[in-house]
Structure formats: structure tokens, C-alpha cells
Chain A
Amino acid sequence: MKKLVVVFWLMFTGILLAADGDVLQPVANPQPILQNLQQEMSSLKSVYLDFTQERQLKLFSAPLRSEGVMLINEPDQIRWETTAPFQSILLASHKSVAQFEQNDGKWEKLKLGFPQMLRRVMDQMVLMNQGKLDALTGDFTITVATNHNLAVMTLVPKDENIRAILSSLEVRMPPDFSATREVVMHEPGGDLTRIVFTRERRNVVFPAATFDQTKPLEIAVVRAAVGDAP
């Protein structure tokens, strides 16, 4: 479960994938970069992101793909929605969490097992989005490498038990840390999960009920409201 916390932390770090023609050079002291990143994130009031998740298992010749959106709104609201190949919504605030699955065209609210655990994970995701990166250095050894077009932050878990599940995380961003675009999670056996963020809207005003844990607004309506209709 720590893995999930980490993954979500990294999804909020405001990063953009750029073409990397040059060789990446390690940065001797990543602290100024991390502080810069933290400063960038602290001014973020809300964010809308489309994502594509690719699960690359050595066993399968092609990656297993899913798509969705992630929305975050101050002070503590988050919505993680998978839109393909199935439909599922996770909603959380500091106090509660809810999950919906689509059942024959209708949304069905689940009676979640372990809601407190999920709420805690998502709560930490929001905190990270608010720029509280300090916790990362306690849990990870962080290195940064850059070239003219790209900066890659690599996080290696300090906990041996976590490393047994997750070898490292790579966060790819432009040199100015302006937007999140790609996170890669490497596993010990060589499998990996790549989350690519394709569209981003910052400091948007979400319609009412976007984060409603009883009847969340349809994502198409949210998309239209934030100017991101496909």
C-alpha cells in the first residue's frame, strides 16, 4: 500500500515530459531542485489531468492500457477516475472516501472494504499536491538527472520491504518543472507501470458535485466545464 501512496504523491508533482535527445547528467545536489518543485506546487489550487496508464508485463507482448482522469481541488478533494476499458470512480476528502463502479450504464456505490486505508492514501496524495514534499526524503533516496530538454527525478525506496515491490520511480519533467507528464514505476522483476499525463488544466473551477461522494457529476460535464472536452 505504501507503493500506492508513493505513486500518487508523484502524480501531483507538476511535471512535463520532453524529448530527450541529450545524455542525462546527474545533479550533485538535488535539494534546490526539490525546493523549486515544492514552490511550484504550493501555488496550485486545483488541477485537471488526463492520463494513460500502461502496465508492461514481460509476459504479455503488448502493454495493458487504461485511461482516465485525475482531479484535485483545494483543500482536500481528489477524484481518480478510470474511463477505459472500464469505468470506476474513486473520490476522497480528508474525512471520507467513496468508490463507484458502472453497472449496466448506472453508477453503483460500493460498500468499500478498508475505507480508512484508502482515504489515508488519497489524503496523502492531496498533501503532496499541496507541495509537501518533505516526506519523500524520509522514505526515498532521491537523485535528479537533467539535460537541455528533460529532468528526471529518480526515487529509490529506503525500506527494503518496499524495494521488494518497487525498485524505483522515475518522474519525468521539463527543466522548469512546469507540469506533470510521466511517471514510471519499475518493479524488481523488470515489469513496469507507466502513467502518461496527456492534458493538464491548472487552477480550474470545478462544477458543483464534481467531488460529491453520493452522486458525482459525470466526467463529460466536468470536462466541458474545464474546457477539456474531447
Chain B
Amino acid sequence: MHRNFFILLLVGFLAGCATNELPPTVNLPPSPQPFPVDALVTQRAVLTVRGRQFTMNGYVARSATGGLRLIMTENFGGVLADVLVKPDGRVFVLQVKPPFRKAWVERFVAADLKCVFAGATEADCPVRVLSPTHFVIKRRQYELDLRTVEVKPGVQPPEMFEEPQGGKP
């Protein structure tokens, strides 16, 4: 019941965003990469949608070969999304839970992930780097305030970056 209510409200917010356009953002040059090539990075995020704010945690595994794996959780640990970005830019949404949708994760979450961690490969990166640990991504639909709170350098398990069987994004 609560979950359904949450979903309905968030869907309402996002649907409203589609018709209430914000000023266009400016694409900035790719950000300097403050992260080790092999690392597990923990980020705290505040997502603002139509003036309302939601907090989330992101855990990003990064490989020297250019792979990215993001586990996104709500405040109390529940997984909202699990996304793999291959070195060639292909995106695999391995898990997604309400209120998020696969299409949103592919379109927005994966894009933001690439912007922050592989900025040079993304054409549309409306990200501002306020400090080496603080990023703000502003798109028409939302604003995402990202803070890096922990970086654990080290090689991550290679299976984290393996595409799922079937291989279709």
C-alpha cells in the first residue's frame, strides 16, 4: 500500500516534469576524474523533482578496463536499481524496483553514471563539478546532487563487469 502510494506520487511528479520544462542546461566539458581506475565509490544523492527531494545511496564499482557497475539503494538499504555499463558504453539494467522504471534507469541513471565516471564518452553531460567530491547534474526533469562520501581503491571482482547471459542491453 505504502509502496504503491509512493510509486503513484513519483510517477505523478515525473509525468508533470515532461510538460513543465525547465531552462535548458549547459553542457560542460568533461569533468576531471577524481576516482582511482579500480575502486568502489560510495555516493550520497539528493534527487530533486519538481521541488521535492528524495535521498538515495549509490555504490559504484569501477574497473581499469572502463566498466562501471552501480547499485542504487534507498535510505534503508533496499536496492532500487542495479546497472552495468560496459567499456563500449552499452547499458544493462540488471535490476530495477519501483518507483524506478527500466526506461528511466537506461535514459537517466546510466547517463548520469557515465557523466560522472566516464565524462569523456558522453555527449550530454550537464554536470557541474563543485569540488572533487561534489557534483550537481541538472536536467530538464530533475536535479541530482551527488557527494562522494567514501572511495575504496582496489580491483573489483571481474564478474561485476560481465554482461548477463544473452548479452542484450
Q: How far is the CA of A57 from the CA of B1 in the complex (A)?
A: 27
Proximity bits, A109-127, B CB within 8 Å = 1, else 0: 0111110010011000000
Question: Are B42 and A113 neighbours in the complex by a CB distance under 8 Å?
Answer: no
Task: List the count of A-B residue pairs having beta carbons below 8 Å apart.
Answer: 80
Q: How far is the CA of A99 from the CA of B46 in the complex (A)?
A: 11
B130 to chain A, nearest CB (A): 9
Question: Are B40 and A111 neighbours in the complex by a CB distance under 8 Å?
Answer: no
Query: A61 within 8 Å of B by Cβ?
Result: yes
What chain B residues lie within 8 Å of A88 (beta carbons)?
44, 55, 75
For A55, A59, A111, A165, the residue with the greatest tally of chain B CB atoms inside 10 Å of its CB is A59
Query: B64 within 8 Å of A by Cβ?
Result: no
Q: Which candidate, A1-9, A26-34, A206-214, is the interface stretch facing chain B?
A: A1-9
Q: Which candidate, B6-14, B24-32, B85-93, B110-118, is the interface stretch facing chain A?
A: B6-14
Q: A55-B73, A101-B46 are in contact. Are A117 and B52 (CB under 8 A)?
A: no
Query: B166 within 8 Å of A by Cβ?
Result: no
What interface size band does chain B fall in? 35 or more
Q: How far is the CA of A114 from the CA of B44 in the complex (A)?
A: 19
Proximity bits, A175-202, B CB within 8 Å = 1, else 0: 0000000000100000101000000000
Q: Is the interface of A mostly helix, strand, loop or mixed?
A: mixed
Q: How far is the CA of A25 from the CA of B105 in the complex (A)?
A: 46
Query: A224 within 8 Å of B by Cβ?
Result: no
Question: Are B76 and A7 neighbours in the complex by a CB distance under 8 Å?
Answer: yes
Q: Which residues of B contact A (CB under 8 A)?
A: 1-3, 5-6, 9-10, 13, 40, 42, 44, 46, 48-49, 51-55, 57, 59, 61, 69, 71, 73, 75-79, 82, 147, 149-150, 157, 160
